[in-house]
Amino acid sequence: MTSFLLQRLTLPRAETTEPLLYVRAEGDVTFANDSAQLRTGAELSFDTSFGVFAAGRWKRLSIVDSLQVTVNAVGSGRIELVGVTSRVAGLLMHEEIVVSAGISPSGKTTLDVPDFAKSPIGSYFVRISAEQSDVVVSGGQWTTKTQSAREVRLSLSITTFNRQDYVKPTVAKVLHLVESLDSLRNNMRILVVDNARNIKFDTAPNAPITVVPNPNLGGAGGFARGIIYLRDEGWSTHVLLMDDDITLEPEALVRTFALFAFARDAKLCVHGAMLSEEQAWMQFEAGSKYRWRSLYPLRAIGRQDDLRERKLALRDVREKKFAYTAWWYTAFPISITRDNPLPVFVRGDDVAFGLMHTGEHSVTMNGVIVWHADFGLKNNPSSLYYEKRNFAIIDTLVFDNHHWWHLARRFIALCFRNLFSMRYASVEYMIRGVRAYLAGPQALMATDHSALHDELRKVTEEKPGPLSPELAAVSITKPRPKIIRLVGFALALPLVGGYVLPKVLRRDTLRTAPIDSRAVGLATRYNRILYRHDRLPEGFLVERDAKRFFSLLREIAVVTKDIAFNYKRLKGEYKAAYPTLVSDESWHARFATK
């Protein structure tokens, strides 16, 4: 009977910065050339975030009803299959050796998982020990003899703009993976949408890769181009949208492909969690909720989880519902909708698509991950322009109970936090973003997004960058207790950001604040603040400016009035325009503009 690959046992590679995501070792174990050498008495176990087979999740999401694991190893030793049962909401766990065997002389030892479909065991992992001689382990695989539910042909759609240093290694990894695995060969392709129209790949003539030159229409335009191209081509059953500035764990593709093949829900979508590029063990997000009534609607799930933790890796927990999947790695059936992304360039295109189409069907899976640079280094006033414009459009389109006061409240509150923390450029771009929303859908459709983005990104203020030696040497201010920060925040409004204080009470001493914070309390008493990254010598300096402060206060009042008077009309206009905004025809017109 034919076996189908579900997941591999992967070992740390030369470029791996956090081996504990892959395996745990005891005794004398060395890693080299995609293998691990265990000296006599040493032990290697896959009770890790990437190494565990999440049986509970597979049984809930798929029709898989049989499971085997094959370990590629030579030497005199033993292989144990350990089952873990979660109890009391996953807080307590029971471990037991389900089956074990000596290492086969053939170099491949296969263990059948007994009663897989009926067993209450939620997680399995493999443990290998060297007993009477050294053992060399070179990975392995989890397979099933269950017949798949559907044929899968998966296309990766990568949108890029001058990120060759990231994209080329990603493409090389994927092509190597596809060529080396029978289950993926002829069933996986790569589409690169090149918004800079300058990338070239040194690949074999028959490599499954296509490059489509595209005008710089941002992530939204690149992903729209990819979806439309693949839909028209007709080969793909599923599409994976992926950013150009990530580091991919190739094993994610193996598991994503298998989930699609065996999914109970034909509309199943798979989201890749993001891990920090700076701290490779730390999870940034594994899906997100969307609280549209909140000042900060995006609520990441799993933020700052340490994926090295053994308990976190082993416990079986129910899938968490989330609202949308970010497009650093999100995969879905290409037939899930005929709608294309909103024409919003960047920020929010994935949120809208998730809220409307993919979010309710989306799941995560251990080992389906990418690494990404800290978003605190990417945020700047121009990104706030997109956030204010695009999220206003999203809330207007998606939520019937969203009213003008919800938009006005968020606008006023976020302007206050930035204005009263001396982030004046941020407020200016937020005002500009809301005014773009107030201009209506016809103005959005008429926007030259490439030209607009070129203009917006010229901003130099409040933009993270390398600090001068003088600023990098400034000691990071120790955070005050939370209660003191709250008092400072509360006093900022009656003290008008410190402008009613006598000058002698305002200090010129340079204080620091986290790069992604709004230091309202500090800004009330100090005239200068250095917003800086806590681990890297990057940040920006802001200074008090009374004239700018009061001018922006007046603009905030005017825009708030415009929201109140125009929101109801705009809600109707945006909803009526939505089918045109996301249609193939309107996107093709944009593709032909440059």
pLDDT of residue 594: 62
Contact, 285 vs 304, CB < 8 A?
A: no
- Model confidence pTM above 0.75: yes
pLDDT in the model for residue 500? 83
pLDDT of residue 503: 81
Backbone torsions φ then ψ of 395, nearest 5 degrees: -60, -40
Q: Which two tokens stand for residue 525?
A: 């008493």
- DSSP string of 307-374? TT-HHHHH---PPPP-SB--TTSEEEEGGG-SPPPPS-SSSSHHHHHIIIIIGGGEE--TT-EEEE--
CB 191 within 8 A of CB 175: no
Which burial class, exposed, middle or buried, applies to 96 when counting CB atoms under 10 A from its CB (0-12, 13-18, 19+)?
exposed
Question: What pLDDT does residue 378 have?
Answer: 74
Which is it for the CA torsion 250, 255, 261, 266, positive or negative? Answer: negative
DSSP codes joined into one string, 26-64: ESSEEEETTEEEE-TT-EEE--STTTSB-HHHHHHHB--
Residues of the chain with pLDDT under 50: none
Tell me how crowded residue 357 is: count the other CB atoms within 10 A of its CB: 18
Q: What is the rounded radius of gyration, in angstroms, for the C-alpha atoms of the chain?
A: 26
User: Strand, coil or helix: what is 230?
Assistant: helix
CA dihedral 183, 249, 318, 58 (to 10 degrees): 10
User: How far is residue 261's CA from residue 6's CA, in Å, rounded to a whole number?
Assistant: 10
* pLDDT score recorded for residue 363: 97
The closest alpha carbon to 108, from 25, 9, 11, 178, belongs to 9
Sequence-ordered list of residues with C-beta below 8 angstroms from that of 456, at least 6 positions apart, any chain = 382, 385, 429
> How far is the C-alpha of 572 from the C-alpha of 588, rounded, in Å?
25
3-state SS, residue 200: coil
Question: What are the pLDDT digits (tens) for 96-123?
Answer: 999 999 999 999 999 999 999 999 999 9
Backbone angles phi, psi at 524, to 5 degrees: -70, -30
In whole angstroms, give the CA distance from residue 375 to residue 256. 25
Q: Which domains does the chain have, with CATH numbers?
A: 4-144 (2.60.120), 154-373 (3.90.550.60), 382-547 (no CATH)
In sequence order, the 6+-apart residues with CB closer than 8 A to the CB of 70 are: 108, 109, 110, 111, 140, 141, 143
Which helix (H) or strand (E) segment is 284 a member of? strand 283-285
CA nearest to 434, candidates 557, 351, 315, 540: 557
